[in-house]
Amino acid sequence: MDVAKKQVYDFWNEASCGEQLYLSGTEQSDYLAQMRKRYQLEPYIESFAQFVQTRNQDVLEIGIGLGADHQRFAQAGARLTGIDLTERAVQHTRKRLNLFGLESNLQVADAESLPFTSESYDLVYSWGVLHHSPNTDRAIDEVWRILRYGGAARIMIYNKYSLVGYMLWLRYALLTAQPWTGLNAIYAKYLESPGTKAYTLGQARILFRRFSNIKIHTVLTHGDLLESAAGQRHRSWLLSAARRIWPRRFIKSVLPNHGLFMLIEAIK
């Protein structure tokens, strides 16, 4: 593993996504509570993932994390494979599925070099993962390779021009008297694992250029709307004040396309 990927691995193997904020133990009730919180904060996952449509489909999820979405695919009756770069995520998801009597082929693997034969999946799903991997374009080429013709990729990556990005820029560029620092550098340094990237619509279209029927839309997230504790790493009096006066209605009507999440559906 090269240095950049080892940094990503170390970050997510320390704690899986949402573990510190939303998982209080490893009992069935803990995983259920985390799942409830997830879909309360991110309700758009349901319609994007289309869990219930995946019965009897060969589905690969890349970057399973705590495994809530993976549980939903398993419950829907998908023939399921799940991978993550970290043992921690695989252990959480294995534990979760065992507790609910569900099955999946789970393994530690790298999205940039998938250990699967070409044209073997109907759906590849990945939520908030591929922008963390140092060579995102290589990972998307791998998604294309292992999909069957007619199969779908449903992938969420970060949107560059987002309120989360602007807030981080205010805090870590403007307020530190370094206004020349660009958004790419800000995401790479201050949003989750080192080297995290975010994409413009045009860049996303280039990443998915081998696919057809590409549909892309962005959503305003709980982070953009300051509706959750997700910004705790950046806690400050300024953030607390902003939470109180944040013009959520105005943002929803005037800046609807400035959300952090970019949801991409594309067909091979």
Ligand X SMILES: C[S@@+](CC[C@H](N)C(=O)[O-])C[C@H]1O[C@@H](n2cnc3c(N)ncnc32)[C@H](O)[C@@H]1O
Give the residues lining the site for ligand X (CB under 6 A).
8, 12, 16-18, 62-63, 65-66, 83-86, 89, 110-112, 127-129, 132-133
Give min distance, CB of 136 to ligand X, in A.
9
Give min distance, CB of 9 to ligand X, in A.
7
Strands 147-158 and 261-267: antiparallel
Task: For residue 236, give Cα distances in angstroms to 2, 35, 168, 210.
Answer: 34, 28, 12, 44
Give min distance, CB of 100 to ligand X, in A.
17
Q: Which is nearer to ligand X, 18 or 194 (CB)?
A: 18
Q: Which is nearer to ligand X, 50 or 181 (CB)?
A: 50
Give min distance, CB of 186 to ligand X, in A.
17
Q: Identify whether the C-beta of residue 210 lies closer than 8 Å to the C-beta of residue 144.
A: yes
Q: Which is nearer to ligand X, 8 or 97 (CB)?
A: 8
Give min distance, CB of 192 to ligand X, in A.
6
Task: For residue 157, give Cα distances in angstroms to 20, 34, 58, 76, 199.
Answer: 22, 22, 22, 24, 8
The residue at minimum Cβ distance from ligand X is: 65
CA distance 263 to 70: 18
Q: Which is nearer to ligand X, 85 or 140 (CB)?
A: 85
Q: Identify whether the C-beta of residue 126 lies closer than 8 Å to the C-beta of residue 111.
A: yes
Q: Identify whether the C-beta of residue 147 lies closer than 8 Å to the C-beta of residue 121.
A: yes
Give min distance, CB of 179 to ligand X, in A.
28
Question: Which residues make beta-bridge pairs with 267?
Answer: 152, 212
Q: Which is nearer to ligand X, 8 or 263 (CB)?
A: 8
The DSSP code sequence of 71-114 is: HHHHHHT-EEEEEESSHHHHHHHHHHHHHTT---EEEE-BTTB-
Which of 224, 46, 53, 20 has its CA nearest to residue 122? 53
Q: Which is nearer to ligand X, 59 or 62 (CB)?
A: 62
